[in-house]
C-alpha cells in the first residue's frame, strides 16, 4: 500500500499451494516450488512473497511456508514484535505442525477470508492446520486497544488460534512457541499456570504477559515451550495464544473451532457487502479488498501502509523503513478503492480519524501519523538484529514524519472531496482542515520540499509537489462551487490569488 515504498513491503500473497478441491478454499492456487537460488547456500529467510497474511484489524501476522509465525506485534500493528524471525532468525517464532516436515503439500486462504489452511503429507499420514487471528461478536469493552470509533458488532478476540485435524494415517504433531519481546531483545520467562495439568503456560515480558493454551502436554525448555502428540485419523487438537486483558483461552477443541468459524463468518460477511464485479479478475480484487481491510486499525479507523518494518527496497540494501503508520497521501488511493467497492463505512471511519488529528502550528497536517493519531514517530535503530537476509539497519519509527512534503495538502483535500461526493455531505468538523490545507498550499507551493519519495537530503523543487498544491486549491474551489460552507475571506483571497 505504500506509494513511496518498495514492493517488498506489501506482503501477504500466497502462490505456494496446489489446486483447491473444496469450496471453502480459494481456487487461484499453485503448486509449491521454492525458487532456485544462485548462491551456494540457500537463505534461511523464506521469500517475502511466500508469507501468508493474517489480521484481526488490530494487528497482523505473517506465516512462513513451514507454518511458523515469523511476525506478530502485540497488541497493535505498530507495537513491538513478539515473534520477529522475519528480521532475525533468533527474533522469536511460533509453529504448530508435523514434526520434521517443513514443506507443506498445500496452503491457501479459506475463500473470502484472511484465515489460512495448510495441508501436510508426512511419510505416515495427512493433516490439515487451520490458523487465524480470531474475531467474533463483541462481548465487552476493549481494554487492550481502546476504541475512539464506535465499536462494531464484531471485534478482535486478541487471540491467535490454530487447530489440527488428522485426515489419514498417524502424524506426530510438534508445537514450539518461543516469543522474544521488544524486537528480539527480551526472551520470554515461562511459567505453568494450571496446577500441574501442563496445558496452560504464561510467557512474561517487560511490559506484558501472553498465555498459551493447548490440549497437548506442555514442557518448558529454557525460553520456549514445546509439546508433541501423535494424531490418529479423525483426531483433532488445538493451541491458542492470548493477549486479551483477561488472557482468555478456548476451553477445548470445540470452542477453538467455533472461534475459527466465527472469524470465517466475519470476513465473508464483510466481503459480502462489497460490490465485486463479475470479471476474470474477481478473485484478485476480492483478495486485495481483504488485504485493505486487514490493514485497517478498527479502534481509530486508520490504515497502515504495510504490516512490517525494515524489509529492504533492494536485496541487502540500507533503505529499510518502518511503514506501520498512516500516510495521508496513500489513503487517497485506499479511499478510492473502498468507495469503488461500495465499502463506505471504512472510508467514513478514516475521515473521522482525519478529523481527530492534531495539526501543526500552521494548521497543516503531517505526512504521516501513528495509527492512534500520535504525531511523534521518532526513528531508532535495532542494530542487534540481522535484518531480512542481512539488510540492515532495522528501524523502528520513521524519521520522515516531520518532513515538509507539499503534496500532502492536495492528497488530504482530494480524499475529502472524494468522500464528500460519495456521502453527499461533509462533516462540519472537517471544514477547518479544508481551509487550513488550502491556505498552506497557497503559501508554500513555490518552496522546495522533500517530495513524494521522502528524500532525506536537501529540499528540492518537485513538479509533483507543486501539482498537488494546485490540486488542494482546485478541490477547495470545487467544494465551494457545490454550495459548501465558504472559507474565511482572508483564506479565500490567499489561495484564489495563487
pLDDT of residue 65: 96
Q: What's the sign of the alpha-carbon dihedral 95, 144, 346, 306?
A: negative
pLDDT in tens, 40-59: 567 789 999 999 999 999 99
Q: Identify whether 121 is preceded by a cis peptide bond (ω within 30 of 0).
A: no
CA distance 345 to 164: 35
**C-alpha dihedral, 424 to 425 to 430 to 431, nearest 10°:** 110
Every domain of the chain and the residues it spans: 7-273, 286-497
24 pLDDT band, cuts 50/70/90, is low
Give me 91's grid cell.
527474533
Length of the chain: 498
Cα-Cα end-to-end distance for the chain: 33
What are 211-241's pLDDT values in tens digits? 999 999 999 999 999 999 999 999 999 999 9
Residue bearing cell 535503530:
381
Cell of 54: 493474517
Element holding 122 (H helix, E strand):
strand 116-122
User: Mean pLDDT of all residues in the chain?
Assistant: 88
CATH class belonging to 7-273? mainly beta
**In sequence order, what DSSP letters do the residues of 139-183 get, joined into one string?**
-S--SSS--SSPPPSEEEEEEEEEEEEEEEE-EEEEEEEE-EHHH
Band (497; pLDDT cuts 50, 70, 90): low
Give the tens place of pLDDT for each residue, 122-132: 999 999 999 99
pLDDT of residue 496: 55
Fold of 286-497: Glycosyltransferase (1.50.10)
- What's residue 41's pLDDT? 62
CB of 301 within 8 A of CB of 350?
yes
Amino acid at each position: 500500500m505504500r506509494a513511496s515504498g518498495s514492493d517488498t513491503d506489501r506482503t501477504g500473497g500466497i502462490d505456494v499451494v496446489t489446486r483447491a478441491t473444496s469450496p471453502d478454499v480459494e481456487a487461484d492456487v499453485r503448486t509449491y516450488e521454492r525458487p532456485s537460488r544462485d548462491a551456494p547456500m540457500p537463505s534461511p529467510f523464506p521469500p517475502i512473497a511466500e508469507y501468508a497474511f493474517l489480521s484481526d484489524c488490530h494487528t497482523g501476522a505473517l506465516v512462513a511456508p513451514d507454518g511458523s509465525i515469523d511476525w506478530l506485534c502485540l497488541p497493535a500493528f505498530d507495537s513491538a514484535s513478539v515473534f520477529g524471525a522475519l528480521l532475525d532468525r533468533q527474533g522469536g517464532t511460533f509453529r504448530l505442525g508435523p514434526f520434521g516436515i517443513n514443506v507443506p503439500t498445500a496452503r491457501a486462504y479459506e475463500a473470502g477470508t484472511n484465515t489460512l489452511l495448510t495441508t501436510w503429507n508426512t511419510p505416515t499420514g495427512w493433516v490439515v492446520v487451520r490458523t487465524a487471528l480470531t474475531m467474533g461478536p463483541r462481548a465487552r469493552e476493549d481494554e487492550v486497544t481502546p476504541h475512539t470509533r464506535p465499536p462494531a458488532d464484531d471485534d478482535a478476540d486478541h487471540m491467535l488460534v490454530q487447530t489440527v485435524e488428522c485426515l489419514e494415517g498417524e502424524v506426530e504433531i510438534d508445537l514450539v512457541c518461543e516469543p522474544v519481546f521488544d524486537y528480539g531483545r527480551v526472551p520470554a520467562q515461562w511459567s505453568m499456570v494450571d496446577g500441574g495439568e501442563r496445558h496452560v503456560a504464561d510467557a512474561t515480558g517487560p511490559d506484558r504477559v501472553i498465555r498459551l493454551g493447548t490440549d497437548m502436554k506442555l514442557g518448558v525448555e529454557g525460553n520456549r515451550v514445546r509439546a508433541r502428540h501423535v494424531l490418529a485419523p479423525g483426531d483433532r487438537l488445538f493451541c491458542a495464544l492470548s493477549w486479551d486483558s483477561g488472557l482468555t483461552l478456548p476451553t477445548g477443541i470445540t470452542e477453538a473451532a467455533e472461534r475459527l468459524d466465527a472469524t470465517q463468518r466475519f470476513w465473508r460477511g464483510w466481503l459480502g457487502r462489497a460490490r465485486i464485479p463479475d470479471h476474470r479478475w474477481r478473485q484478485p480484487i476480492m483478495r486485495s479488498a481483504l488485504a485493505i481491510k486487514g490493514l485497517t486499525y478498527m479502534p481509530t479507523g486508520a490504515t497502515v501502509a504495510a504490516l512490517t518494518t525494515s524489509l529492504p527496497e533492494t536485496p541487502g540494501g540500507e533503505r529499510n523503513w518502518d511503514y506501520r503508520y498512516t500516510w495521508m497521501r496513500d489513503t487517497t488511493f485506499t479511499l478510492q478503492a473502498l468507495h469503488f467497492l461500495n465499502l463506505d463505512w471504512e472510508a467514513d471511519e478514516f475521515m473521522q480519524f482525519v478529523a481527530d488529528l492534531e495539526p501543526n502550528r500552521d494548521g497543516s497536517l503531517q505526512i504521516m501519523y501513528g495509527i492512534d493519531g500520535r504525531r511523534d514517530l521518532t526513528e531508532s535503530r535495532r542494530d542487534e538484529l540481522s535484518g531480512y537476509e542481512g539488510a540492515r539497519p532495522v528501524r523502528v519509527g520513521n524519521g520522515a514524519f516531520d518532513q515538509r512534503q507539499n503534496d500532502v495538502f492536495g492528497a488530504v483535500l482530494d480524499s475529502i472531496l472524494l468522500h464528500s461526493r460519495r456521502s453527499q455531505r461533509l462533516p462540519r468538523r472537517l471544514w477547518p482542515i479544508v481551509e487550513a490545507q488550502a491556505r498552506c498550499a497557497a503559501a508554500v507551493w513555490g518552496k522546495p520540499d522533500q517530495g513524494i519519495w521522502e528524500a532525506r537530503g536537501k529540499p528540492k523543487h518537485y513538479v509533483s509537489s507543486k501539482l498537488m498544491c494546485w490540486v488542494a486549491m482546485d478541490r477547495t474551489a470545487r467544494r465551494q462551487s457545490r454550495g459548501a460552507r465558504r472559507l474565511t475571506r482572508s483564506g479565500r483571497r490567499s489561495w484564489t490569488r495563487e
